[in-house]
Structure 1
């Protein structure tokens, strides 16, 4: 397993690169990766000359959502322990969402579940032509509660009502059509396309960028502060669903590589 689940660096221009680094599990998130993102955001917040953050994933896939083995291990804990896990997950996405500088996500391969929330929290998203997306939580008897606001910002309620309910997979061109990503490029050109956007951002006034982002966030679903009562409710819903019989059956179906036995009285 990777020693450091999240890597970050900062160059002389003030461009930070944050890399999800669990390629052996397709960068699926667990407590280590969540805490790594939170730590990276905290350290970057201390950098006086930070101008842009680029988010990427090591390996073939950008981010495969939650590590379901870890989720299954979390489930038997108390309600309070499960809420703590959901709160940390929410804060990792929301800190990225409200960072007062531009953020650019570069997506290759799979981007599932929480990964779609992560990119919805970024300002500019570029996908490789091999990227594949899915809001997968319902497939495992879970909900995407804590990333629904960011998804609604990115693709609109109408598209969320389709893709978060079906859990279907869709490709990069469909992701661009619905607004989840801004551009689609050949995989070999992904880094260069990201670099071009970064150069464009660096040519703009830092204070003007921060104010423009703040004003945009003020009118968005995802602009609510993370101590807002509405978000507290989402955290509670997210954690409580994890401990239901339906989630137990969904996670069992994942582990056993079979369809969920919904509506049979066995869940």
Structure 2
């Protein structure tokens, strides 16, 4: 039986999550969403995992909603629709709030939910031929579940345009908008992802988690006295931590800190 979600972990603690419905362009249904959320939660809870790569099999990253799932939902009432929407909201929230570094490997088209997933990742690396789209309005629907994450990534004005026009845009445009960070040729994609993984492995795992939390706390806030106090408190907290003390000691002693993998 084909497993819709695959995952593996290498000897350095890099976990790779793969959407595995290539024949359906990795479109998501409720079962796949629940499995992806559960796998993410397991990886988050595993102290051995240093970073998570979100990838996909086949030519597409994720084509959005599975058509069979949409057909089933066509007969649902509002409460049932809300229950299914909550499944997707939980997935996106779990990915967005993951304390570990998350890297999206986008080898092909990312539509709707697919674009939402990569907007929740810390780093998104896309192949030059990748395409992006929010086509919900063509069906008389709206991309509400992904809206908070997409708006944060590309801004309100650009979101308004692409939500109402349902235009497709290419990887170059996605990079300029801020939806992805790096565009490479397809044959360079794995190398670029591996390089990004090597980069995060150099850093303190708890420090990266704290840095992500700091950004969440400060996001959208004015630079007020309270915001400055938040930064001061966080500096002191992290400096006093075991990892912070180890990092400073390693710098002074000119050695690698304990979290760097040694062959």
* 2:177 corresponds to 1:178: yes
1:74 is matched with: 73
2:246 is matched with: none
1:5 is matched with: 4
- Deviations 1:85-133 (CA, angstroms, capped at 9, x unpaired): 1000111111000000110001012110111110000000000011001
- Equivalent-residue separation in structure 2 for 1:121 and 1:205 (angstroms): 21
Q: How far has the Cα of 1:68 moved from its partner?
A: 2.5
2:29 is matched with: 30
- Equivalent-residue separation in structure 1 for 2:48 and 2:164 (angstroms): 42
- Equivalent-residue separation in structure 2 for 1:9 and 1:47 (angstroms): 13
Q: How far has the Cα of 1:42 moved from its partner?
A: 2.1
Q: How far has the Cα of 1:70 moved from its partner?
A: 1.3
1:252 is matched with: none
* TM-score, scaled to structure 2: 0.81
1:227 is matched with: none
Q: How far has the Cα of 1:45 moved from its partner?
A: 2.5
2:101 is matched with: 102
Q: How far has the Cα of 1:189 moved from its partner?
A: 0.7
**Contact residue 44 and residue 99 of structure 2 kept, 8 A:** no
- Deviations 1:197-251 (CA, angstroms, capped at 9, x unpaired): 0100000111110000011122347xxxxxxxxxxxxxxxxxxxxxxxxxxxxxx
**Contact residue 55 and residue 104 of structure 1 kept, 8 A:** yes
**Contact residue 153 and residue 220 of structure 1 kept, 8 A:** no
Between stretches 190-199 and 7-16, larger displacement belongs to 7-16
- Equivalent-residue separation in structure 2 for 1:160 and 1:34 (angstroms): 24
Unmatched runs of 5 consecutive residues or more in structure 2: 221-263
**Contact residue 138 and residue 167 of structure 1 kept, 8 A:** yes
- Deviations 1:142-161 (CA, angstroms, capped at 9, x unpaired): 11111111001111111101
- Equivalent-residue separation in structure 2 for 1:44 and 1:110 (angstroms): 26
Q: How far has the Cα of 1:20 moved from its partner?
A: 0.5
**Contact residue 129 and residue 187 of structure 1 kept, 8 A:** yes
The alignment of Structure 1 onto Structure 2 pairs a total of residues equal to: 220
Q: Secondary structure at the match of 2:63?
A: coil
Over the residues paired in the alignment, what is the CA RMSD in angstroms? 1.2
Structure number with the bigger relative contact order (C-alpha 8 A, sep ≥ 6) is 1
Q: How far has the Cα of 1:75 moved from its partner?
A: 2.3
Q: How far has the Cα of 1:140 moved from its partner?
A: 1.2
- Equivalent-residue separation in structure 1 for 2:178 and 2:58 (angstroms): 25
* TM-score, scaled to structure 1: 0.80
Q: How does 1:58-137 map to 2 (within 5 A)?
A: 58-137=57-136
